[in-house]
Amino acid sequence: MQEFSEFESLLSRSVQEKNLEFQRHGRLKHLIAASQLTPELLEKLCRSADLIRRLSRNPEGNRRLRDLLAHKRAMLYFTQPSTRTFLSFMAACQILGLSCNEVRDPKTSSEVKRESRMDSIRMFSSYFDVIIMRSQISNFAECCAYLMSDLERQERRSVPIVNAGAGSDEHPTQALLDMYTIVRTFDFDENSESRPSRLNELRRSFPSLTCGPSQKTYTFCGDIGRGRTVRSLATVLSQYEGVRMIFVSPEHDVLVMDEELRQRLKMTGVDFYEVNSLDSEVNGESILGQTDCLYMTRIQREHNSKDTEQEIAEIDLNPFLLSPERVGVLKSYAPILHPFPRDSVVGEIPTSIDSDPRAMYFRQARNGMWARAALLVHLFDAADSLFFAFSDVFRSPN
């Protein structure tokens, strides 16, 4: 894209080089790509999210949370449809006392007067302290981070950029909340008061089961090719020990995993499989029977081109839909996740499954609020203040 041509050489650098630029002394300056979410950083963010969640249950805790970032302002610049990401970021801001404003329709901004997107961003950075943005243009958020780096070099005002969904490419904050949900689920209540330990009980049937995201099989189902949430979560999970992944999608060129992700997973040495039905088998065993966590997604129709529209409409989607029978094959502890929205016409997860204890997708969406609040706390270097607030309110933190 012409507008971003000045950033071309920066865009073609290695992931490592880019990630180095997006952090300072180990703390994120911008969140652009899921590869920035390392297991160490996720541990910190999940811990902060837990503190925020627990503080918010208490009136004094709520008050302390609202003081944390009361001196900051956030711009929510969402030019692509969004319900959960937008609202959970807004709720996260409200929890932390940040005031926020939004531009969702560029027709209401000076972009109609031919202002460039980059000038709009620089304007937002003049009035706000963080820009949280979603766009159908894959590289836009990344280029905004480069603009901020340029401004910083010139000792001008620069603010953190948060990628809240970039084209069909990346959705790092969704990966963050997915990981928070996975971490909490595979904690098996070990840190709560519940006796006997749920993990010990489960181990009678699943002797090799361990706490945490490592040593697990993750099955992703649906639009693997165009689902940015799948790409981002798979990228994060590939950093954990002994993770296996199974990708289930129709065998259409645009719906199967794209070559870039396939190569990336190969390079990281992840054991992964690609199959064309939830009833498929891998290594002589049904995939659902060996799944520790099932990640469902919808077919991303908005990305259909004129050429593929008809072909995709004719695909039999039944092998990619959950049913009570298929859920019955899952392990008793295996969470069912979905980034949402689910497609109410296709019904990849029928509502009859919502009452199953493994259906975690509504809790997952709520976790987005805590996880995104934790990210804001991190970006503004307020994790210590959060911890002090927690210690004050509860006296004995654990």
171 or 378: CB nearest ligand NCD: 171
184 or 228: CB nearest ligand NCD: 228
286 or 308: CB nearest ligand NCD: 308
Is 140 among the residues that bind ligand NCD (CB under 6 A)?
Answer: no
CB 312 to ligand NCD: min, Å: 15
The answer to whether the beta carbons of residues 18 and 133 sit under 8 Å apart is no
148 or 162: CB nearest ligand NCD: 162
Is residue 93 within a helix (H) or strand (E), and if so which, with residue range?
helix 84-95
Is 364 among the residues that bind ligand NCD (CB under 6 A)?
Answer: no
Which one-letter DSSP state was computed for residue 288? G
Which one-letter DSSP state was computed for residue 30? -
The answer to whether the beta carbons of residues 96 and 69 sit under 8 Å apart is yes
Stretch that binds ligand NCD, among 45-53, 254-262, 295-303, 351-359 (CB under 6 A): 295-303
x/- contact string, 25-54, with ligand NCD (CB under 6 A)? ------------------------------
Residues 69-128 that bind ligand NCD (CB under 6 A): 84-85
Residue nearest ligand NCD, Cβ-based: 339
Q: Which of 145, 185, 200 is nearest to 18 (CA)?
A: 145
CB 242 to ligand NCD: min, Å: 27
Is 180 among the residues that bind ligand NCD (CB under 6 A)?
Answer: no
CB 83 to ligand NCD: min, Å: 8
CB atoms within 10 A of CB 162: 26
DSSP 143-201: HHHHHHHHHHHTT-----EEEEEETTTB-HHHHHHHHHHHHHHTTTTTTSS-SS-HHHH
- Cβ neighbours of residue 45 closer than 8 Å, sequence gap 6 or more: 37, 176, 180, 371, 374, 375, 378
Binders of ligand NCD: how many residues, by CB under 6 A? 12
Stretch that binds ligand NCD, among 147-155, 213-221, 296-304, 324-332 (CB under 6 A): 296-304
Is 228 among the residues that bind ligand NCD (CB under 6 A)?
Answer: yes
The correct pick among 340, 361, 370, 380 for binding ligand NCD (CB under 6 A) is 340
The correct pick among 33, 148, 339, 375 for binding ligand NCD (CB under 6 A) is 339
Angstrom distance (rounded) from CA 141 to CA 29: 13
171 or 331: CB nearest ligand NCD: 171
What 349-354 contacts at long range (C-beta under 8 Å, 24+ apart), as own/partner pairs, is: 349/296, 349/321, 349/322, 350/321, 350/322, 350/323, 352/324, 353/322, 353/324, 353/327
Is 217 among the residues that bind ligand NCD (CB under 6 A)?
Answer: no
DSSP 338-354: --S---TTT-SS-GGGT
The answer to whether the beta carbons of residues 90 and 124 sit under 8 Å apart is no
The answer to whether the beta carbons of residues 79 and 104 sit under 8 Å apart is yes
CB 168 to ligand NCD: min, Å: 8
Angstrom distance (rounded) from CA 345 to CA 255: 19
Is 231 among the residues that bind ligand NCD (CB under 6 A)?
Answer: no
Is 163 among the residues that bind ligand NCD (CB under 6 A)?
Answer: no
CB 171 to ligand NCD: min, Å: 5
84 or 326: CB nearest ligand NCD: 84
Angstrom distance (rounded) from CA 163 to CA 142: 8
The correct pick among 18, 117, 171, 244 for binding ligand NCD (CB under 6 A) is 171
128 or 295: CB nearest ligand NCD: 295
Angstrom distance (rounded) from CA 293 to CA 245: 10
The correct pick among 29, 244, 298, 372 for binding ligand NCD (CB under 6 A) is 298
The correct pick among 174, 185, 219, 238 for binding ligand NCD (CB under 6 A) is 174
Q: What is the binding site for ligand NCD (CB under 6 A)? A: 84-85, 165, 171, 174, 228-229, 297-298, 300, 339-340
